[in-house]
Amino acid sequence: MAADSRVVVVGGGLAGCACALGLAGRGVEVTLLEAGSTLGGRVQSVNLKGMERGIDNSQHAAFRVYGRFLQLLATCDAREIIKLQKRTTLPYLEVEKGRISIVKSGRLPPPNHLAVSLMKAKFLSLGDKLAMQKAVKALQRMSEEKRRSLDDTPFIEWLQENGQTERAIQRFWDPLVKAALNIDSEQASTSVACFLFRRGLFGDPDAFDVGSFTSDLSDSISPALRRTLARTGVEVRTS
């Protein structure tokens, strides 16, 4: 694209803002249109009457595997709004029994870095754990071409086809999908979910480190995006 081109980006979510910043960095004249009053899309807080502070509208945590998101925060000088764990630690609460199991990374290399704590976890039966091994092997064998071809397949279908028990889905796969993608396994794309788990299980051992936001999203994400877009010369039009 020629540097003297003019582009209109429709939508001020994370993808739209990242696109606008990337184009502006290449010398393209960019106008960003957003129907709402804030930037960041679903990554914002909702203020309800009677509440002292806003309620986050998107996922309430992030993972270290969100490389592009963390890079965008760094570009916007807003990296400090998220605090990442130094070691993957995922607590699972069984409400009916009042007990907590901790899934955490160990010293073994991926994909076995979570294996020891998963085998000790009390919220899954032995049958659940054996079924999960089948899915892990299927993920390990999956080619990149195959993963991309599953974009329109709900992740729940892939899990069921690969022998996952209902309890393994409800207590392991689905909570991670919801935390990472802000949707459940019935809505999530198999391609996207498999990318997440392939990176988390076979990539970096710290990929599932949880990051928690340190402030209301609307008070941090939207202003940071707006400042950075203005600094790079992007014209922003909101309602």
- Domain residue spans in the chain? 6-59+216-237, 87-208
Does the pLDDT at position 56 exceed 70? no
167 within 8 A of 128, measured Cβ to Cβ: yes
Q: Mean pLDDT over residues 223-236, rounded?
A: 96
Q: What is the pLDDT of residues 104-146, one digit of tens each?
A: 988 888 878 888 898 898 999 999 999 999 999 999 899 999 9
Region for 86 from its dihedrals, namely left if φ exceeds 0, alpha if ψ lies in -120 to 50, beta otherwise: alpha
Q: How many CA atoms lie within 13 A of 70 on its CB side?
A: 15
Q: What is the pLDDT of residues 173-212, one digit of tens each?
A: 998 888 788 788 999 999 999 998 888 777 788 888 888 8
pLDDT attached to residue 93: 85
Q: CB-based burial of residue 177 (10 Å sphere; 0-12 exposed, 13-18 middle, 19+ buried)?
A: buried
pLDDT attached to residue 234: 97
Q: Considering only 42-46, 63-67, 170-174, which range has the smallest mean pLDDT?
A: 42-46
Residue 60 banded pLDDT, cuts 50, 70, 90 = low
Q: What is the pLDDT of residues 10-49, one digit of tens each?
A: 999 999 999 999 999 999 999 999 999 889 987 877 777 7
Does the pLDDT at position 216 exceed 80? no
Buried b (16+ CB within 10 A) or exposed e, 212-231: ebeebbbebbbebbbebbee
Q: What is the pLDDT of residues 69-102, one digit of tens each?
A: 899 999 999 998 889 988 888 888 888 888 888 9
Residues in contact with 113: Cβ distance below 8 Å, sequence separation at least 6, in sequence order: 88, 105, 106, 107, 205
Q: Mean pLDDT over residues 55-71, rounded?
A: 78
Residues in contact with 67: Cβ distance below 8 Å, sequence separation at least 6, in sequence order: none
Q: Can you say whether the dihedral through the CA atoms of 40, 9, 77, 224 is positive or negative?
A: negative
Q: Domain 6-59+216-237 sits in which CATH superfamily?
A: FAD/NAD(P)-binding domain (3.50.50.60)
